[in-house]
A and B are shown apart, each in its own frame.
Chain A
Amino acid sequence: MSSDPYSAQVRELFSGAEHAGDLEKPAARVQISEQDVRLALAADIDDDIIVGLRFRAWGCPHLIAAAEAFCRAYEGRPVRGLLTFGAAEIMQTLPVPREKLGRILVLEDAVRSLGQSVRVSPDPGKDTD
């Protein structure tokens, strides 16, 4: 069992957080502040597709890595995907230790809020009646 609390993936995401920053005129922006976490997310949208994501974060390395991982994964995806973003997958893939779950749930809340703050077109594959 490794004594290193940070996986190679967490280290790479933390040190290479290229999505840390702002967008000039984001379509949506959310910010959450809790005791150990401050997190802001901004999105550029074009025709229901996320074309740009940026984050700002004050928190532990796992939070910064998770925010960067989210941005990398969701650029180019449909906006509606934000509404179903879950912390579980990111907790498992980075991985993030269980005691940090609360911080990753802040990211989950921020991502879903971001999705809700964007006007989402109905899913063409679903009956909207």
Chain B
Amino acid sequence: MNSDADIVYLDYAATTPVDPRVIDVMTPLFGAGGDFANPSSGHTAGRRAMARVERATGQLAELLGCSESELVWTSGATESDNLAITGAARYRADRGRHLITMPTEHKAVSDVFVRLEKQGFEVSWLYPDAAGLLDPAELEAAIRPDTQLVSIMHVNNETGVIQDIEALGAVCRARDVLFHVDAAQSVGKLPLDLGSMPIDLLSTTAHKIYGPKGIGALYVADRPGCHVEPLIFGGGQQGGRRPGTLAVPLIAGFGAAASVAMAEMQQNREHLQALNDRLWQGIRDLAGVVRNGGADCTFPGILNVSIEDVEGESLLLALEPLCVATGSACNSKSQEPSPVLRALGRSDLLAQSAVRFSFGRPTTREAVDFAVARYREAVARLRSIATGLVA
């Protein structure tokens, strides 16, 4: 049932297990006898390690449709977001200090903009429509002569809403504004061809696509005016954009995960769509249940639902042994309603009841059927406990 003895995991948007094929690639790179050397070293062992890095870089570049020289290895999407936004804003600060993003972004993006606001940058926060989408015309209207950077995520980590990044990027490109995309939830899951898309900076990470935790990448388009100032210094690796000894096993794992994701993308998407449909069909008749994010514009790996008259934290506990999320995992200790769902127009109470189910390659129909039964049972029980108290 896609479970250990005591859990049923439906939180693949938070992280995924490492694919055994990826583990097979990584394992020999740790110990003596493997390609453990520092890839910056000029000796034979170092060159072998560098060959591993180059192979992985090629694998990720193929998945993204970009050239190898446009990729910078980082520790994950959070670092990639920080490097892209802060690095680009600082690089272009002499041209202007106006930036644009949305309140529905992951905190790895929105918190960076909040910090930049404190450092003298001006940020426009654009709100989505009820389906979660940003109208390109609204973005165009918000761009000013001093606007330097727009950051919009591809697939929302809470709702799965897919933004039209081609249309949004085209607006930015026409106005010579850098366009950054947080693609942590979409790389390896939706087709991307950065060579032909109007995207300047793109953040990704391995652990969302059955790769290891601790490794990510930032795409920096090789075009005039697109550059990021480094956030850390010392060593000169990766052209100084992100110095530090390269983590060869993690990078090789990311490369292998990218290759598997590319080969299996279509079949995985069909698998996820079937699971998503099955879960929604199983609960949609419950009174007061609503889907967060338009059904026709969301990534099928995520189904986010709210329900009236049910308190979110109690719902999460009552759902055990299901492993699901109430907000983004990085934010799950917060008692505040999700800003993403508030931006979609949900009331505090409805936002607070939200549950994010997210599916992955190992998820079975039996696991989804278990989730349906558990959700229905938990809602019924909590509503029974609260009878007469909530209008």
Hey, which bits of chain A sit against chain B, CB under 8 A?
6, 11, 14-15, 17, 20, 22, 31, 33, 36, 38-40, 56-61, 64, 99
Contact = CB atoms under 8 A, between A and B. Distances in A.
A60 B311 contact: yes
19 contacts: A14-B314, A20-B385, A22-B387, A33-B389, A38-B390, A39-B389, A40-B388, A56-B385, A56-B386, A57-B385, A57-B386, A58-B311, A58-B386, A58-B389, A58-B390, A60-B313, A60-B314, A61-B314, A61-B317
Contacts of B384: 20
B314 A59 contact: yes
A99 B334 CA distance: 11
A14 B313 CA distance: 12
Given A56-B385, A56-B387, 17 more contacts: A11-B317, A14-B318, A15-B318, A22-B387, A31-B389, A38-B389, A39-B389, A56-B386, A56-B388, A57-B386, A58-B309, A58-B311, A58-B386, A58-B389, A59-B314, A60-B313, A99-B335
A64 B314 contact: yes
A71 to B, nearest CB: 12
A34 to B, nearest CB: 11
Interface of B: 309, 311, 313-314, 317-318, 335, 384-390
A101 B386 CA distance: 20
A77 B335 CA distance: 36
Contacts of A14: 314, 317-318
A17 B390 CA distance: 19
B385 A17 contact: yes
A57 B389 contact: yes
A16 to B, nearest CB: 11
A20 B387 CA distance: 10
A60 B385 CA distance: 12
B389 A40 contact: yes
A61 B313 contact: yes
Contacts of A57: 385-386, 389
Contacts of A15: 318
Contacts of B314: 14, 59-61, 64
Contacts of B387: 22, 56
Contacts of A39: 389
Contacts of B386: 38, 56-58
A59 B389 CA distance: 10
Contacts of B335: 36, 99
A88 B386 CA distance: 25
A22 B314 CA distance: 20
B336 to A, nearest CB: 11
Nearest to B382: A58
A15 B314 CA distance: 10
Nearest to B384: A20
A96 to B, nearest CB: 13
A22 B386 CA distance: 11
Given A58-B309, A58-B390, A6 B385 contact: no
Please give me the 4 A-B residue pairs with the lowest Cβ-Cβ distance, nearest first. A38-B389, A58-B386, A20-B385, A60-B313
Nearest to A40: B389
Contacts of B317: 6, 11, 14, 61
Nearest to A11: B317
Nearest to A20: B385
Contacts of B309: 58
A32 B192 CA distance: 53
A64 B309 CA distance: 15
A72 to B, nearest CB: 15
B251 to A, nearest CB: 30
Contacts of A38: 386, 389-390
Contacts of A61: 313-314, 317
Interface centre among A17, A22, A38 (most CB of B within 10 A): A38
A45 B256 CA distance: 70
Nearest to A6: B317
A8 B109 CA distance: 37
Which of A17, A22, A56 has the most chain B CB atoms closer than 10 A to its own CB?
A56
B82 to A, nearest CB: 26
Contacts of B390: 38, 58
